[in-house]
Amino acid sequence: MFPSFLPTTVSQLTEPTSIALAQSIKQIDITTPLSTQPIPTTYVHQGSGGTPLLLIHGFDSSVLEFRRILPLLAVHHQTWAVDLFAFGFTDRPTGIPLSKTTIKTHLYYSWKTLINQPVILVGASMGGAAAIDFTLTYPEVVQKLVLIDSAGLTGSSPLGKLIFPPLDYLATEFLRNPRVRHSISRTAYKNKQLASLDAQLCAALHLEKSSWSQALIAFTKSGGYSAFIFKQLSQILQPTLILWGDSDKILGIGDANKFKRAIPQSQLIWIKDCGHIPHLEQPQISAQHILDFNRR
């Protein structure tokens, strides 16, 4: 059975990993200083023991992004994935501005409510930028950091140029178009066969939330995650693993070495024959690198 807060189209999922993760999504009310009302927040928790792993998804995505890697990590660690504020299936109550600050605050109180002990923080794409920002603000929470084809060096989303009336609505409707999303999905993978109908559905389920377009517009107008400067990255003292697909066509490959040079205790591992999303395209290899890193 699928949770009732997911759209009914979730029943169209076909891949076992997608079905299993969707069935395991839970929802909890998170109390934060952002509002007098708690924020209904969606998350997944699997596994037990070891230092908790906390997985942070990318732009316009959800916890379903970790459907292939999370079960592999959960064999050895308690593993969590949380939908960021106003992303995925987590709510955005009216009256709360959407910015990297509100995302970070909500994530902190989600961590405090659900986990409340130091974690190994794993961020993919925009989730990497969110993880960096979180680590710099709450260093006591993060024991180690893992960045997977991370944003954070190239500035805000190019959508920002289109987010003004009436183009803000048109820009989000363009991004909603199934053909556009399929094209983005194919670009993200090196192996185009992985951009399946199931993968497209996983990437689009959260679009059925009534607040999706408004949230996307608000986040982009806020500036999103602007580029971190070298001085900021040099303040990350936690051991950091950088995983990067050697055929990334979304962010390219140049930022991988820039992160490696900027973050003091970091190591870079290239994932061969892989695009922008190693956790989906090469989940076994990516999981093994993360587990090996955590044992050190």
How high is the pLDDT of residue 295? 87
d(CA 21, CA 18): 5
Range(s) of the domain holding residue 73? 8-295
DSSP string for 232-263: HHTT--S-EEEEEETT-SSS-SHHHHHHHHHS
How high is the pLDDT of residue 222? 81
Distances in Å between the Cα of 192 and the Cα atoms of 177, 196, 254, 273, 276 are: 19, 8, 22, 12, 12
List, in order, residues 6 or more apart from 139 with CB less than 8 Å away. Answer: 237, 238
Residue found under tokens 């930028």: 129
Distance of CA 123 to the CA centre of its chain: 6
The domain that holds 100 is classified in CATH as: 3.40.50.1820
d(CA 45, CA 74): 9
Strands 119-124 and 240-245: unpaired
How high is the pLDDT of residue 162? 45
How high is the pLDDT of residue 169? 61
Is position 2 within any domain?
A: no
How many independent structural domains does the chain possess? Answer: 1
How high is the pLDDT of residue 177? 85
Q: List per-residue pLDDT tens for the chain, 296 residues long.
A: 999 999 999 999 999 999 999 999 999 999 999 999 999 999 999 999 999 999 999 999 999 999 999 999 999 999 999 999 999 999 988 889 899 999 999 999 999 999 999 999 999 999 999 999 999 999 999 999 999 999 999 755 555 544 455 546 666 777 778 888 888 889 999 999 999 999 999 999 999 988 888 888 888 878 888 889 889 999 999 999 999 999 999 999 999 999 999 999 999 999 999 999 999 999 999 999 999 999 88
Is position 227 within any domain?
A: yes
Is position 69 within any domain?
A: yes
Is position 55 within any domain?
A: yes
Is position 1 within any domain?
A: no
How high is the pLDDT of residue 196? 95
- In Å, the largest CA–CA distance within the chain is 52
Phi, psi of 175 (to 5 degrees): -70, -25
pTM over 0.75: yes
Is position 268 within any domain?
A: yes
Is position 3 within any domain?
A: no
Structure tokens at 226: 């602007």
Which ranges of the chain would DSSP assign to H, the alpha helix?
A: 16-24, 70-74, 100-114, 126-137, 167-176, 178-188, 197-204, 212-221, 230-233, 254-262, 278-281, 283-295
Is position 140 within any domain?
A: yes
